A = this chain, B = another copy of it.
Amino acid sequence: MSYSEFEIIARYFNRFSSSRYNVEKGIGDDCALLNIPEQQTLTISIDTLVENVHFFVDMHPTDLAYKALAVNLSDVAAMGASPAWVTLSITLERINETWLELFSTSLFKTLDDYNIQLIGGDTTHGPLSLTIGIYGLVPVGFSLKRSGANLGDCIFVTGTLGDSAAGLSLLRKQYYVRDLIVYDTLIKRHLRPVPRISQGQALRNLATSAIDLSDGLLSDLTHLLTASKVGACLNLEALPLSIELQNNFESKQALIWALSGGEDYELCFTVSEINRNIVATVMNSFGIPCTCIGKIITESEGLVLLNNGKPIEFNNKGFDHFNV
């Protein structure tokens, strides 16, 4: 059966999703039309996922749709913004109805869960890839940025680190665990990362800088340090590792994943010493850990890793698509 671009959009992507009052025109014109509420700053982020680079050909379309959105929502979370609209550009090698049905159902479920409206996009023919644009709103002056970290600030991370990389290693059959519950937990951390939207919003008045952890702690923290023109000292023994990671893998491997595994989609942010306890209280109310893992130091000191007080070297700088 042959579908045209317009038929694919009509059949799978032009559903009624969460409908937001400030969308004057969604799908179906040359552009979408949006009326931004007063005193709100618009946030825009675009991410492309390519088959066999960012995901494998056998990734279930239900997981793919979820994760593609979650990855973008994580960028919105890192700005302290509230997600509002999404555009989807999808390039398909061929039309597989089951695949499209599963993909679009999962997409719209996730959009509804976050009260986000699909406002436009593009369906084209070619090697499978997805480009998602996500648009959020944050009150003027309250966005979190990578720049802004100050000398002496505490460095926090939400959740636990390294689980996603461990899950990926299980999916790739590079490692095995006996316990199926552990297996499922770690796989889920890789396939179903939870964007820290609420936490990002709660940090609007508290964090001095923030970034989400997509490429790995060391790589992403380095971006934050560069933007803020500061250095950092991390205490490796303070890194939050899940029970699943600690009990099923060698501690050295767990540490490598926590530092550079990537795709955890937790938030890394800085807070002035005076707000440290408030942050711990506020963030713990969300039911996931929030851990101080180090301090901001001067730019000339660089990025220092301490293992129980002793400096160590670490060369793996995290996942980078062109250098892997």
A residues contacting B by CB (< 8 A) are 2-6, 8, 24-25, 28-36, 38, 41-54, 74-76, 78-79, 81, 85, 87, 89, 91, 95, 119-122, 124-127, 129, 131, 133-136, 138, 140, 143, 145-147, 210-212, 227, 320-323
Contact = CB atoms under 8 A, between A and B. Distances in A.
A41 B24 contact: yes
Contacts of A32: 43-45
A198 to B, nearest CB: 16
Contact of A43 (B31, B124, B145, B146): B31
How many copies are assembled? 2
Contact of A81 (B31, B45, B122): B31
A136 B29 CA distance: 14
Given A46-B133, A127-B127, A36 B33 contact: no
A120 to B, nearest CB: 6
Given A133-B133, A146-B30, A46 B87 contact: yes
A72 B233 CA distance: 46
8 contacts: A29-B227, A30-B212, A31-B44, A35-B41, A44-B119, A46-B133, A54-B124, A124-B321
Contacts of A119: 44
A44 B135 CA distance: 10
Contacts of A31: 43-45, 75-76, 78-79, 81, 134, 136
Given A38-B38, A320-B6, A321-B124, A87 B33 contact: no
B2 A323 contact: yes
Given A24-B143, A47-B122, 11 more contacts: A4-B322, A28-B146, A30-B212, A31-B81, A32-B45, A36-B42, A38-B38, A46-B87, A48-B124, A54-B124, A133-B133
Given A45-B120, A322-B3, A29 B145 contact: yes
Contact of A145 (B25, B36, B53, B138): B25
* Minimum-distance CB pairs A-B, first 8: A50-B126, A31-B43, A30-B78, A131-B131, A30-B75, A127-B127, A31-B45, A36-B36
